[in-house]
Amino acid sequence: MDIGTRWKAYEYRWAMESEWSSAMRMIWRTFLKYEGKDYSQEGIRHFFDFITDDKLFVMFLKGEYQLMVALDGGHIIGAGSIRNRNQLSLLFVEEAYHHMGVGSTMLRKLCDYLKTEAGEQSMFVQAAPYAVDFYRKHGFRMIRSEMDVAGIRVTPMEKRF
């Protein structure tokens, strides 16, 4: 891949209803590749149940679980969501697009949205072990040490705006 392709501009926007399933499939594939190895079978099952729960989709439809997507020519290459007013959830980038600024751009856009449109003063995330360094590089600080939630290892982190 040449440098022009590597740093091309991707489309970032709020997801449409028809994109939900594709986004969740990309999240599941990426989770298994990068995070699943750090979790117990219980944690993997809990994560799968979370992203396939119809209640989550209904929350999305009601605007209570906002999902932003990154697209390359209509193909979903990244996703990230906001829940509980200021909690980042499910920030994932398709493997072929890692280290190309997709996750960083999406995180910046979600932070900007929370700060300027939602009037929030911070963003909270329960970071997976794989993502802790990524969030640190983007100004998040650990607010508690790593903990296990239903077999899923997370480190609570926060970024103040």
What CATH number does the domain located at 3-121 have? 3.40.630.30
Q: What pTM was estimated for this model as a whole?
A: 0.91
Tens of pLDDT, residue by residue over 83-118, are: 999 999 999 999 999 999 999 999 999 999 999 999
Residue spans of the domains in the chain: they are: 3-121
pLDDT > 50? residue 3: no
Unique residue bearing structure tokens 């900007």 = 112
124's CB contacts (< 8 A; 6+ apart) are: 86, 87, 88, 156, 157, 158
The backbone region for 55, taken as left when phi is positive above 0, alpha when psi lies in -120 to 50, beta otherwise, is alpha
pLDDT of residue 103: 97
Beta strands in 33-151 (DSSP E): 66-72, 75-83, 87-93, 122-127, 141-142, 147-149
Listed residue (84, 102, 79, 61) closest to 25, CA to CA = 79
Give the angle 70-76-82 at the CA atoms, nearest 5°. Answer: 55
Task: Please state, as a whole number, how many other Cβ atoms lie within 10 Å of the Cβ of residue 61.
Answer: 11
Tens of pLDDT, residue by residue over 7-64, are: 568 999 999 999 999 999 999 999 999 998 888 899 999 999 999 999 999 999 999 9
Tens of pLDDT, residue by residue over 64-88, are: 999 999 999 999 999 999 999 999 9
pLDDT of residue 6: 55
Q: How far apart are alpha carbons 95 and 130 in whole angstroms?
A: 13
pLDDT of residue 7: 56
